[in-house]
DNA sequence: GACTGAGTAAACACTT
DNA sequence: CAAGTGTTTACTCAGT
């Protein structure tokens, strides 16, 4: 597993803006988080304010809230100036997820939570990546030790994706606004996001149908009028966590030094789509939203990221699966909210305006 | 070696 | 009738 090395240093420190809608420390951590996954953070909207010049929040050497244990990182608004970590210990992208508490890891205060409105559609992840995401260097958490070194999906378009058909179907259905798709749309989603299947032998469609029929996680629902042949397929809510766990167990091939465009990772455009769905919810976030947030995380950073979540997050996810989502204050609620935030969706986006 | 999960192929029935 | 969809069975393979 190739270590993640930064190719450039951070940009020079500049005068920070007078006021940012949330602590620079947090913005830096978000930027650093995205940056160290080998991608670029180019634009972020917080509380309605667009931050597109991360030079402004760079450095932090003059910031009181700077965590001096971490080197400054500039997530430039311009493409390609993303400074991948050159500090193995400090810039492991998800290292702060290792903390016992997600919130403690990113040092989110309650006020941070309330001020933070991050819609993932506004967190643009560049498609070009200089370095593979760094999950490979994240030590496995005590709860679910990862036997295979976690690394992002990095498979050539012409090789088979590292996901089982059930996971592919799961992702396809999850990405749908109605969380239900006819089999034809599932084919289309898979082809769109995993071009390998464009030219793969036709047998894979049979496998998809076979999987839909055989896998208890998928349910057929009444076809919508005018749908034509076939039915809509949905994910059984009771088996959602099973799929998520299966997703997290997917074997991940070693990262290769390939252009991202040739990799077989899901299209990043998928995430804003899911995020919008989450954000559109009128009611306060519930089990579905938290599980969807976990799904977004897994899709964003690779399935191994689920193994990097602290026990609290798994507790939330498992409780969601059992429909026990009573986050009456305390760690669990904050962890649940942090799941949404990590996925790029503020819990407050759900609140009725 | 048994078991399990996943992938593949094939046959068949049904629907549009 | 053709094509697509859904179900089922059987087999192989890899991992445990």
Closest nucleotide to A214: CA versus each C1': C7
Query: Between the CA of A200 and the C1' of B9, what is the distance in angstroms?
Result: 15
Going by their DSSP bridges, the two strands A232-235 and A218-221 should be labelled as: antiparallel
| Contact by Cβ (8 Å): A168, A161 | yes
Report the C-alpha gap between A66 and A152 in whole angstroms.
Answer: 29
Report the C-alpha gap between A276 and A317 in whole angstroms.
Answer: 20
**A160 C-beta less than 7 Å away from strand B:** yes
Report the C-alpha gap between A325 and A237 in whole angstroms.
Answer: 14
- Residue whose CA is minimally distant from B7 C1': A207
Query: Between the CA of A220 and the C1' of B15, what is the distance in angstroms?
Result: 15
Closest nucleotide to A231: CA versus each C1': C5
**Helix, strand or coil for residue A235?**
strand
Of A138, A43, A136, A28, which is closest to residue A83 (Cα–Cα)? Answer: A28
| Contact by Cβ (8 Å): A182, A222 | no
Nucleotides of strand B within 7 Å of the protein's CB atoms: 5-11, 15-16
Closest nucleotide to A183: CA versus each C1': C5
Query: Between the CA of A213 and the C1' of B12, what is the distance in angstroms?
Result: 15
Going by their DSSP bridges, the two strands A232-235 and A180-182 should be labelled as: antiparallel
Nucleotides of strand C within 7 Å of the protein's CB atoms: 3-10, 16
Going by their DSSP bridges, the two strands A49-51 and A180-182 should be labelled as: unpaired
Q: Where are the domains of chain A?
A: 24-137, 165-350
Q: CATH: 3.20.20.70, 1.25.40.10, 1.10.10.2840, 1.10.10.10. Which one for A165-350? A: 1.10.10.10
What stretches of chain A show up as alpha helix (H) in DSSP? Answer: 24-36, 102-106, 110-115, 165-175, 183-193, 203-214, 240-248, 270-280, 287-301, 305-308, 311-321, 330-342
List of chain A residues with pLDDT < 70: 1-159, 223-227, 245-353
**A183 C-beta less than 7 Å away from strand B:** no
Closest nucleotide to A164: CA versus each C1': B6
**What's residue A151's pLDDT?**
34
**A282 C-beta less than 7 Å away from strand B:** no
Tens of pLDDT along A74-111? Answer: 222 222 222 232 332 222 222 222 222 222 233 333 33
**Helix, strand or coil for residue A222?**
coil
**Helix, strand or coil for residue A13?**
coil
**A164 C-beta less than 7 Å away from strand B:** yes
| Contact by Cβ (8 Å): A154, A265 | yes
Report the C-alpha gap between A242 and A323 in whole angstroms.
Answer: 14
Report CA A190 to chain centroid distance, whole Å.
Answer: 18
How far from each other are the two terminal CA atoms of chain A, in whole angstroms? 47
**Helix, strand or coil for residue A156?**
strand
Tens of pLDDT along A272-314? Answer: 555 555 555 444 555 555 666 666 666 666 656 666 666 666 6
Q: Which phi and psi angles does A127 have, rounded to 5°? A: -80, -25
Of A57, A255, A75, which is closest to residue A152 (Cα–Cα)? Answer: A255
**What's residue A293's pLDDT?**
67
Residues contacting A322, CB < 8 A, separation 6+: none
| Contact by Cβ (8 Å): A112, A65 | no
Of A84, A21, A53, A98, which is closest to residue A307 (Cα–Cα)? Answer: A98
**What's residue A290's pLDDT?**
62
User: How does DSSP classify residue A163?
Assistant: S
| CA-to-CA dists, residue A309 to A28, A39, A190, A216, A339, angstroms | 20, 20, 27, 26, 9
**A194 C-beta less than 7 Å away from strand B:** no
Query: Between the CA of A62 and the C1' of B7, what is the distance in angstroms?
Result: 57
Of A25, A2, A291, A43, which is closest to residue A151 (Cα–Cα)? Answer: A2
Query: Between the CA of A304 and the C1' of C16, what is the distance in angstroms?
Result: 20
Of A62, A75, A71, A77, which is closest to residue A89 (Cα–Cα)? Answer: A71
Of A122, A104, A119, A137, which is closest to residue A36 (Cα–Cα)? Answer: A137
């Amino acid at each position: 597993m190739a270590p993640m090395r930064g190719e450039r240093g951070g940009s020079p420190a500049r005068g920070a803006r007078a006021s940012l809608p949330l602590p620079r420390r947090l913005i830096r951590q978000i930027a650093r988080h995205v940056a160290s996954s080998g991608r670029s953070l180019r634009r972020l909207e917080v509380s309605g304010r667009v931050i597109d010049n991360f030079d402004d929040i760079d450095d932090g050497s003059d910031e009181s809230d700077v965590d001096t244990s971490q080197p400054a990182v500039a997530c430039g608004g311009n493409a390609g100036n993303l400074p991948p970590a050159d500090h193995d210990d400090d810039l492991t992208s998800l290292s702060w997820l290792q903390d016992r508490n997600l919130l403690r890891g990113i040092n989110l205060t309650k006020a941070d939570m309330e001020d933070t409105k991050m819609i993932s559609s506004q967190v643009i992840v560049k498609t070009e990546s200089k370095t593979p995401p760094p999950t490979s260097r994240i030590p496995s958490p005590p709860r679910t030790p990862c036997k295979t070194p976690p690394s992002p999906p990095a498979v050539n378009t012409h090789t088979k994706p590292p996901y089982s058909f059930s996971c592919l179907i799961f992702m396809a259905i999850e990405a749908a606004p109605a969380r239900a798709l006819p089999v034809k749309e599932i084919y289309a989603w898979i082809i769109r996001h995993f071009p390998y299947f464009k030219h793969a032998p036709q047998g894979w469609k049979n496998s998809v149908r076979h999987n839909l029929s055989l896998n208890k996680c998928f349910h057929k629902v009444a076809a919508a009028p005018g749908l034509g042949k076939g039915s809509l397929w949905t994910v059984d809510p009771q088996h959602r966590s099973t799929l998520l766990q299966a997703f997290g167990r997917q074997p991940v091939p070693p990262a290769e030094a390939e252009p991202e465009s040739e990799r077989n990772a899901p299209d990043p455009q998928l995430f804003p789509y899911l995020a919008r769905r989450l954000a559109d919810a009128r009611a306060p976030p519930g089990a579905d939203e938290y599980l969807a947030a976990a799904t977004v995380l897994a899709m964003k950073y690779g399935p191994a990221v689920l193994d990097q979540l602290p026990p609290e997050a798994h507790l939330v996810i498992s409780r969601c699966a059992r429909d026990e989502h009573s986050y009456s204050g305390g760690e669990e609620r904050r962890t649940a909210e942090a799941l949404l935030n990590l996925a790029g969706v503020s819990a407050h986006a759900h609140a009725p305006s």
